[in-house]
Chain A
Amino acid sequence: MNAASSSGGEGRRSGAASSVRFLQYFESFGVLLLLVLVVLVASTVARGFFTYTNITNTIIIASITAVTGFGMTFAIAMGGFDLSVGSVQALTAIASAMLLEVTSVPLAILGALVLGVALGALNGTLVSRLRMPAFVATFGMMSIVRGVALLVTRGQSVMITGRPGYAALNNGKVLAVPVPFIIVLVVFAFLYVLLRHTPFGRHACAIGGNRRAAIATGIHIETTTVLVFALVGLTAAVSGVMLSSQLLIVDGTLGTGFELQTIAISVLGGTSLAGGSGNLLGTLIASLLLATISSALNILKVEAFYQYLYLGLLLVLALYLDTLRRTFIANSILRRR
């Protein structure tokens, strides 16, 4: 997506220009290349990786991360990010589970989604109206929402029983495609159209790319900010519902470290933390990459603690490549003057 908007230079064949081109392609396709490599390696090294069951499970795990990753990508494109997604995921999962005790499946899901949107809008309001940095506002919300999640459950687990319809959100299949993956595709399509084909999405990118210019252009900065964060809250709630339908037992500690995962897949997928553009397809592929690595390591009986290690390493690598790209671009623009 990014390549489409920025490829086709002026035919300058200097070293820096071709480096920029390489980094651009890497930004868009590098993560796909990595995914293919990892799948190939995992299929040969880890026995039992390339089975229908395992692939399905991997896709389901990837789907839950990807859904919120899309929202995160949107926020990063606008020059922000949301650290509270893990807490929101936990609270909405709990809300959904608790609502299921008193009401129908659609209403429980709706309740959870509304809660997610409200929490996201609150984040957005803190950032836009109170002019708090996204880091501070969502960092605070991360703790507040986590506290609420632990308080309403009193630290206990909430079980979801006798709701086959709800469980089908996780284990159901349509034409052999797992339902979670269908949810991912729907959310992807929705956000893709929003980002690329509506003024709203373009304005979000404009704010992330050059805030001062966005103000001078008369873009509704505050409204756009609130809506983008509400969108992130919505995607966190969708993943909360998906997670609870998978686990069928939820508690207040769900989703810790989720913010790191979702930011990591956004950046790995080629969305620059500097803001200005978002690569949703890259986010989807990066979520598959992470889930594949986890799955392979599981089969190889590598301790789960290593997950933090490789996640951090991948994140640093992706950020380093992004910094390289920005530096090259800055230099090639400067040289022009």
Chain B
Amino acid sequence: MDPVLRVTHISKQFSGVQALKEVDLDLFPGEVHALMGENGAGKSTLINIISGLIRPTSGTIELRGERVQFQGALDAKRAGISTITQEFNLVPQLSVAENIFLGREPTGPGGLIDWKRVREQAAATLTELGLDVSMNQRVEYLDVGDRQLIEIAKALSAEFGVIMMDEPTAALNGAEVDRLFQIIATLKQRGVAVLYVSHRLNEVFRIADRITVFRDGSRVNTCPISSVSADDVVTMMLGRELAKAPLMQGEATGKREALSVRGLAIPGAAHDISFDLSYGEVLGCAGLIGSGRFELTRALFGLESRSAGTVAVRGEPVGLHNPREAIRAGISMLAEDRKSEGIFPDLAVLENLVVNAPGARSGWRFIDGRRERHEYEEMRGTLSIRAQSPRQSIVKLSGGNQQKVMLGRALVSGSRILVLNEPTRGVDVGTKMEIHALIRRLAQDGYAILVSSSDVPELVAVSDRCLVMSAGRIVGILAKAQITEAQITALAIGRGLMEARP
């Protein structure tokens, strides 16, 4: 059998950075081909090239034996290549059937939409996929899992020969994943070639026929899934073997217990979350997108509701229904995205900094200008914030200095427990080093710090212990001696889960 898609010697350079080096990949009809690799290995670049979003620096793409050159995403679509990503291209206000045929509505006489055909074909597609949603349902009433399946229905009804899925399960729960996999099986029977990009080992071993591993922009290997073990894949991804030492559950390193989480569950995101955090300790928190890490940090600050479990601060159970309760309990959070959830763009540096200070919390008193000024100067010294004046507009500061102001906001609130989300995202290297040093210094001063980050080297640099989440669970808590990038990555992609299964 000939491959439906074959890419040969594809390279891509982004302003001097070699994102892909001479990679080859082929896809056969009726095959599920898994593509794995660490962040930055080049998976997304390849997907973007095949779907016509970016053009390769060199190399060729052949579709059914013919060489193609896509000028844009539409070209690839017309050629029968569909890409399903995290962001859906659905119009919420339109019905399921309308969405399936959006942009290629069958028309009858006079250029009017042939609704009969739309309905018939939509119904046929939905039946084939075994979807129990009504085609007249408006998409806005569907949950994430259903929406994704509508995307697949779209691809199926357009008779795409190649469907690429980029982390399709990141936002799905267990039952939805099962349903998706059934549908992928149906696609296989129809002779569709599926390129499946995932960080999750157990999924790949469940559905893939072959696997290709990328590392640093190069292809490491392509082989049938039956010929490799999970450890082989991890070794290929990391480029070295991982010590098989049993995982120690790192014990809290500080002296006094600050935060104690027991059996925490967040609907649709995480469950059975239990860990302790002491004063004087930095606890790292690793996990891929969709691992529940993000939701966990938000739940600790009252921004995400939990369905079970308890959180105790210094042994006292706390409610944490909203950020006010969290701050009252002595917990402050650094928002993951400072632009959308951190800075007040119209307020000055000082105002942004002290908005959480105890003196500024109650509305009915005069602002104590001198006290604020004092707090500002103190934080400016501690964090070495480079601002021209406290009255300067916050948006005129560099990303790094904005981030320091956000850190200062958490500190002036008087909280001794800090939940830091992506503390160095979007800051320059120098500031990054400063912030890392600051986190260590704060821990020495007795703060209890949870650092949640997608930057694995960062976690290695600052953590005393590091908990790793995968698929909504804590899959390991690494002690200081065990914290390596390789160990964290292996756990995050689900090696722990694989071993737990018989």
**Residues on A facing B (Cβ under 8 Å):** 4-10, 193, 197-200, 202-203, 205-206, 208-210, 212-220, 223-224, 227, 275-277, 329, 333, 336-337
Contact = CB atoms under 8 A, between A and B. Distances in A.
A205 B347 contact: yes
A216 B324 CA distance: 9
B348 A216 contact: no
Interface stretch (B195-203, B335-343, B440-448): B335-343
Contacts of B326: 218
Nearest to B399: A337
B341 A202 contact: no
Contact of B327 (A6, A10, A218, A275): A218
A198 B344 contact: no
A216 B323 contact: yes
Given A213-B335, A217-B323, A202 B367 contact: yes
Given A4-B391, A5-B347, A199-B367, A212 B341 contact: yes
B82 interface: no
Given A10-B396, A208-B346, A329-B395, A216 B363 contact: no
A123 to B, nearest CB: 19
B346 A277 contact: yes
Given A4-B391, A6-B393, A276 B363 contact: no
A220 B303 contact: no
A238 B322 CA distance: 37
B438 interface: no
Contacts of A224: 363
A212 B324 CA distance: 14
B367 A209 contact: no
B389 A216 contact: no
A197 B388 CA distance: 22
A98 B364 CA distance: 34
Contacts of A205: 344, 346-347
Interface string B358-370: 0111111111010
B419 to A, nearest CB: 11
Contact of B388 (A8, A203, A208, A213): A8
B279 to A, nearest CB: 22
Contacts of A276: 344-347
Interface in B309-347: 322-324, 326-327, 333, 335, 340-347
Given A329-B395, A333-B395, A336-B399, 11 more contacts: A6-B392, A8-B388, A197-B366, A202-B351, A206-B355, A208-B346, A210-B340, A210-B345, A213-B335, A218-B323, A276-B344
A205 B394 CA distance: 14
Contacts of A329: 395
Contacts of B388: 8, 10
Contacts of B426: 337
Contact of B367 (A10, A198, A277): A198
Contacts of A337: 399, 426
B428 to A, nearest CB: 11
Nearest to B334: A216
B367 A197 contact: yes
A205 B426 CA distance: 26
B365 A198 contact: yes
A214 B324 CA distance: 11
Interface of B is mostly: loop
A131 to B, nearest CB: 15
A213 B336 CA distance: 11
B360 A216 contact: no
B148 interface: no
Interface string B292-319: 0000000001010000000000000000
B107 interface: no
A217 B409 CA distance: 9
Nearest to B336: A216
A214 B326 CA distance: 14
Contacts of A275: 346
B398 interface: yes
Contacts of B342: 210, 213, 216
Contact of A5 (B348, B359, B409): B348
B470 interface: no
B356 interface: yes
B347 A202 contact: yes
Interface in B254-286: none
5 contacts: A5-B346, A9-B396, A198-B366, A210-B343, A218-B323
A199 B365 contact: yes
Interface in B168-207: none
Contact of A215 (B303, B355, B367, B391): B303
B411 to A, nearest CB: 14
Those 4 A-B pairs whose CB atoms lie nearest each other, nearest first: A276-B346, A200-B363, A218-B323, A6-B393
Contacts of A200: 363-364
B351 A216 contact: no
B391 A199 contact: no
A6, A9, A193, A219 pick with most chain B CB within 10 angstroms: A6
Contacts of A214: 344
A6 B341 contact: no
Interface string B382-411: 000000110111011011000000000100
A308 B388 CA distance: 45
A179 to B, nearest CB: 28
Given A205-B344, A216-B335, A336 B363 contact: no
A337 B338 CA distance: 14
A5 B393 CA distance: 6
A4 to B, nearest CB: 6
Contacts of A218: 322-324, 326-327, 356, 361
Contacts of A210: 340-345
A199 B361 contact: yes
A181 to B, nearest CB: 26
A198 B363 contact: yes
B59 to A, nearest CB: 31
B355 to A, nearest CB: 6
Contacts of B327: 218
Q: Which of B361, B362, B363 has the most CB of A within 10 A?
A: B363
B323 A215 contact: yes
A217 B355 contact: yes
A210 B301 CA distance: 18
A336 B346 CA distance: 18
A277 B394 CA distance: 14
Contacts of B361: 199, 218
A286 to B, nearest CB: 19
Nearest to B338: A213
B417 to A, nearest CB: 14
A206 B369 CA distance: 18
Contacts of B301: 216
Given A198-B365, A329-B395, A8 B322 contact: no
A5 B391 contact: yes
B360 A220 contact: no
